Amino acid sequence: MFSKWNRLAGALAILAAVATRGATSKVVKIEFPTCPGVKPGDVKMAQNGDDSTLFDLAPLTGPGVVCTWMRRVPESFSTATSHFSFRIGVNRTGCYRPDLDDTKQDDPVAVFVLACCGSKGATVTVEELDPGMELSYLRIVPMGNEARRKKNIPVGCTESGVLKDDVRTVTRVVSKEKVRLQFRDKPDPFFFGLLVNDLPAKPLTRDGVLYQFIYQRGKGIDGSGTSLSPNAIEVDALKLRQTGLKRLKVTVK
Amino acid sequence: MRARPTLLLLFLAATAAAQPRSIFDADDFVDPRERDGHPLFVSRLLLGVAKSYVDRYRPLHHDAGFVHIANSFYFSDFQFDYKRSEVRGEHGVPVMVCECEEGPIYFPTPPAPDATPAAPPPGSTDTLQFAWYRTVGVEGAPPLMLRYRLSWSRQPIDTAVTEIATGEKFARLSGREQSFGLEADTHLRIRGRDIFGSLQFARTKRSGTVDDRSQNELTYTNRFPAWRFRRILLRPTLTVGGVSGRGGTALNVVHPQFEAFWHDTTTRANLHLIWAPQTIRSGRGGWTTTHQIAFFVDRALFVRLFTNEPRNDSARQDAGGGAF
């Protein structure tokens, strides 16, 4: 019910943006003033918050071209409403809107000029979970400060992904970034979930996970103010039972 | 253009009428996103005692025991509640009347208009509530959820009046107290920190008794984040505001509350211990503090989340007694 209105608002925003700027692109280019230690295959990007589908960028070579990577994406996007974030080795950037290079009018390029590279990000690993359990996550990314071009406007963004059976890690988690687990097969960007940054390092039973939900709601970090609502606890307990969760261990290193 | 002031007036009129929750009325906020949009029904029983019980900023000056049943139905972005509470406890001495020349004089003498009104005698109260949940967007994060709630409650008050000279029954008054109000959650973000609270406005009116009174309440409650001691959660709140009908104006209520909360996963019962030193001011009595302490236990009697999936027998057994 919320997502319907938000998606409608998003669609209207895209329409409005396209109407005002009329810029769509399929090419992304990123330049770093310097890029010490960054290898050619180290740069990837997430488009519009999809952390499960990272695009590899290819380094550009040529006279006078340094620290520049490029990628053509399958679907065209509005440069006014889309946002991108980049993975550079063990680091990541915040989310930014692109600048537009329309020198080639028939093939405009979304350009980013960002500082490289922040400190090493942490890795969140989910362990001791039944292999078949469905688990998704949100990354609530703080505003970045890497922009070196005015039109690369930093935006607060939420990225999401699915933790599959073999790879249950969220990598390059930077300081102040919040990772939230959702016990469902597809992430819901309108729902908060369990805040990983606030969990103890020890393994949790299902009751332990329930207690963490109660505690996080009491702290008011689940998006609805501080609450000790017994009715909400009943819903949490029921849903955790339905997932079949028995144990959960989350480490952040 | 005309709609805007009308809406504002409607809001103010509604806001001019929310009731503060009783100390034993457990929080029943359920974010609709947690239900995945499915309807939910919960019936909950609550039992407890309160030392120095206070009813809507009016001290009873006695202890009380209570039983409270709350039935909540959640669907879409809405919540309906029917609640019934039975409060039992002492309430002063029987009412007597002197048929004097200047008119009937009641004993004990009701508090003066500029004094804090007496609490209604302990009894049963029925409450109906209707709430609407609304999302508030925050850039780069899932939206926040706030609740707006209308409440109406009614307590019948029967008073047996005895003739002071003869000791014979003089009259039996069938009165009532009604309260109507609105509670609106608020959210502020200051330097990246979320501040959650609620604004309440209520009108309470007692009629058909020997001590008919009315009061308007405008209060703000700030809900501070909980912290934990082992498995016990501790949450403070602070309510400040003004209550009319007791002499003087402006701020005359300061009501901190400290709640210790423990959820037992085996029995699914919740234990609450609350200390609420309530400081109120009246024109006659000045500032006075009542240390209200309540202990109560609540447990769901029946819970049903109306999903399309078939009911799971093992989950039902887990839930304890066919609740799911």
Looking at the complex, report in whole angstroms how far the Cα of residue A113 sits from the nearest Cα belonging to chain B. Answer: 21
CB-based contact A69:A43 (threshold 8 Å): yes
| B30 contact residues in A (CB cutoff 8 A) | 229, 231-232, 235
Nearest Cα to B66, choosing from B34, B110, B108, B22?
A: B22
CA B82/CA B127 separation, integer angstroms: 6
Instruction: Find chain A residues with C-beta within 8 A of B28's C-beta.
Output: 229-231
Total length of chain A: 253
Give the type of residue at A200.
Answer: P
The pair phi, psi for residue B293, each rounded to 5°, is -130, 130
Residue A177 structure tokens: 């970034």
Give the whole-angstrom CA distance, residue B111 versus residue A84: 68
Per-residue tens of pLDDT for chain B, all 324 residues: 444 444 444 444 333 333 457 899 999 999 999 998 899 999 999 999 999 999 999 999 999 999 999 999 999 999 999 999 999 998 777 889 888 888 888 888 889 999 999 999 999 999 999 999 999 887 778 899 999 999 999 999 998 889 888 888 888 899 999 999 999 999 988 887 888 999 999 999 999 998 999 999 999 999 999 999 999 999 999 999 999 999 877 899 999 999 999 999 999 999 999 999 999 999 998 999 999 999 999 999 999 999 876 554 443 333 333 322
Q: What is the pLDDT of residue B166?
A: 84
Give Cβ neighbours of residue A152 (< 8 Å, ≥ 6 apart): A96, A97, A98, A99, A111, A112, A113, A114
Q: Which of A6-20, A173-187, B173-187 is predicted least confidently?
A: A6-20
Residue numbers of A between 183 and 202 with CB closer than 8 Å to B: 188-192
Do B155 and B125 touch, CB atoms closer than 8 A? yes
B24, B27, B28, B34: best to mutate for the A interface, most A CBs within 10 A:
B34
How far is B242 from B223, CA to CA, in rounded Å? Answer: 18
Give residue B278's identity as a one-letter amino acid code: Q
Q: Is the predicted pLDDT of residue A5 greater than 80, yes or no? A: no
Residue A243 has pLDDT above 80, yes or no: yes
| Cα B232 to Cα B216: distance, rounded to the nearest angstrom | 36
Q: CB contacts < 8 Å between A and B, how many?
A: 154
Burial class (CB in 10 A: 0-12, 13-18, 19+), B197: buried
- B37 part of contact set with chain A, CB < 8 Å: yes
**Distance of alpha carbon A76 from the chain centroid:** 20
pLDDT at A6: 53
Best-predicted range by mean pLDDT among A141-150, A157-166, B82-91? B82-91
| Residue A21: predicted pLDDT | 52
Cβ separation B27–A143 shorter than 8 A: no
In whole angstroms, give the CA distance from residue A143 to residue A94.
6
Rg (CA), chain A: 20
Q: If residue A127 lies in a helix (H) or strand (E), which one and from where to where?
A: strand A122-127
Tokens read off for A18? 């396209």
**What number is the ipTM of this complex?**
0.87
B177–A contact, CB cutoff 8 A: no
**Hey, which residues 115-144 in chain A have their CB within 8 Å of chain B?**
138, 140-141, 143
Taking only residues 65 to 104 of chain B, the set having a beta carbon closer than 8 angstroms to any beta carbon of chain A reads 72, 76-77
Q: At what angle do helices A230-243 and A206-219 cross, to 10 degrees?
A: 140
Contact A95, A83 (CB under 8 A): yes
Q: What 3-state DSSP class applies to A18?
A: helix
Distance to chain A for B239, nearest Cα, Å: 15
DSSP assignment of B133-153: EEEEEETTEEEEEEEEEEEEE
3-state DSSP: chain A helix, strand, coil percent, rounded to 5?
20, 35, 45
Closest Cα in chain B, distance from residue A229 (Å): 5
Residues of A in contact with B144 (CB under 8 A): 223-225
| Residue B185 forms contact with A (CB below 8 Å) | yes
User: Distance between alpha carbon B188 and the CA centroid of its chain, in Å?
Assistant: 24
Interface test with chain A among B24, B27, B69, B262, by most A beta carbons within 10 Å: B27
- The helix/strand/coil state of A214 is helix
With an 8 Å Cβ cutoff, are B72 and A242 in contact? Answer: no
Closest residue in B to A193 (Cα) is B34
Instruction: Give the whole-angstrom CA distance, residue B53 versus residue B90.
Output: 11
How many Å apart are CA B141 and CA A179, to the nearest integer? 11
Residues 62-101, chain A: which have Cβ within 8 Å of B? 95
Residue B37 to residue A143, Cβ atoms within 8 A: no
Taking CB atoms and an 8 Å limit, are A158 and B34 in contact across chains? no
Taking CA–CA distances from B316, the nearest residue in chain A reads A238
What helix, strand, coil percent values describe chain B, rounded to 5? 5, 60, 30
What is the C-alpha to C-alpha distance for residues A177 and A180, in angstroms, rounded to an integer? 10
* Nearest alpha carbon to residue B54 among B255, B221, B219, B197: B255
What pLDDT is recorded for position B165? Answer: 82
Q: Which residue has the tokens 């030392």?
A: B51
- Per-residue pLDDT tens digits for A41-71: 889 999 999 998 899 999 988 888 888 999 9
Instruction: Say whether pLDDT at A233 is over 60.
Output: yes
